[in-house]
Structure 1
C-alpha cells in the first residue's frame, strides 16, 4: 500500500493502472494519426553526419549552399572552458523554417546536430555540443527552400583556465 498526503492508502495496482492508462492514451494518439516530430518518410542523414568538412556536410544534407543572414541568431560562448559540454542555441525570424543544423569546422565530423522544425513551431533549438578544439560553430537554417547561416568562433580552453 502507498499512503497519500491526506492519509488515504492507495493500492500499488491502482497507481500502476493509472500509469498504464496514460501510456495507452499516448499510443492511441499515435495510432489516430497525430504526427510525431519526424515524418515516416524522413530518412536519417547518416552520410552527412560522417563528413569531415562543413561544405560537404551541408551539400549532403541540403544539396545547396547557405548564405549569411542577420535573421539567424546563434548563441554560443566566446570561450568554452570545457569542450565536452559547449552550450549553443539558435533561433530565426525567417518564415517557414523547416530545419536547423549545427556544424563545427574543426571537429572530426563537422555536422553535430540537425533538427526538423514542424510547421507552426517556433524555430528555436538549444543543445550542448562537444568540440575538439577552438573552431567556428555554424548554424544553418532552411527556410522557404533556401539556406541561411550564422557563424561564431568558440575558443576551447585546456583545463578551464582561460588560456
Structure 2
C-alpha cells in the first residue's frame, strides 16, 4: 500500500515482476494516475466543509514574465493564541501537474500566521490559499495569475 495525498491499495495482480535485474513494472488504472481537479484537491483538504471568504490575504504578482520562481506570501488574520490559532495553511493551483503546492502546519507558538515561499507555475491560472482555524472553519483567498513564460510543462490538458 502506498501513502500520500491519495492512498492507493494494490493487489498482487497489479504488480508485474519482470525477469532479469529485478525489474518491477507497476500498472495502475488511468483514473488513479489522473491529476485531481482544483475543487477535488480543496475538498480533500477541507473534508468537504464550506469555505469562507476573508481573513486570508494571498500576495502573488498578477502578471509574471517567468513562472519558474514566483514569490508568494499568505497572511491570515488570527490572534495565534492557544485557544484561537491557524492550524494549517494550504496553497493550491489550477493547472500545474499537481493541484496541491504546499501545506504549512502552524501552532500558537508560530507568533503570527504568515508563510512565504517561491513556487513554480506551469501557465496562467488560479491560485488558492486556504487556512484552517482551531474552530474547524476554513477561510480562503483566490488570485488569478498570468504567466507569459511557463514552467513545469507536462501534458496540461
TM normalised by structure 2 equals: 0.66
Please give the alpha-carbon distance, in whole angstroms, between the structure 1 residues aligned to 2:109 and 2:140. 21
- Superposed CA RMSD: 2.1
Match of 2:115 in 1: 125
Higher helix share: 1
**Which runs of no fewer than 5 residues in structure 1 stay unpaired?**
1-43
Please give the alpha-carbon distance, in whole angstroms, between the structure 1 residues aligned to 2:6 and 2:115. 23
- Aligned pair partner of 2:141 in 146, 150, 155: 150
Please give the alpha-carbon distance, in whole angstroms, between the structure 2 residues aligned to 1:138 and 1:66. 14
Is 2:36 aligned against 1:52?
yes
Q: Equivalences for 1:99-138 in 2 at 5 Å?
A: 99-121=88-110, 122-138=112-128
Q: How many residues align?
A: 115
Whether the aligned pair in 2 keeps the contact of 1:52 and 1:107 (CA below 8 Å) is: no
**Which runs of no fewer than 5 residues in structure 2 stay unpaired?**
8-33, 79-83, 151-157
Q: Which has the larger radius of gyration?
A: 1
> How much does 1:59 deviate?
2.2
Please give the alpha-carbon distance, in whole angstroms, between the structure 2 residues aligned to 1:57 and 1:130. 18
Please give the alpha-carbon distance, in whole angstroms, between the structure 2 residues aligned to 1:84 and 1:66. 32
Please give the alpha-carbon distance, in whole angstroms, between the structure 1 residues aligned to 2:35 and 2:103. 14
Q: What secondary structure, in the 3-state scheme, does the structure 2 residue paired with 1:141 have? A: strand
Match of 2:54 in 1: 70
TM normalised by structure 1 equals: 0.63
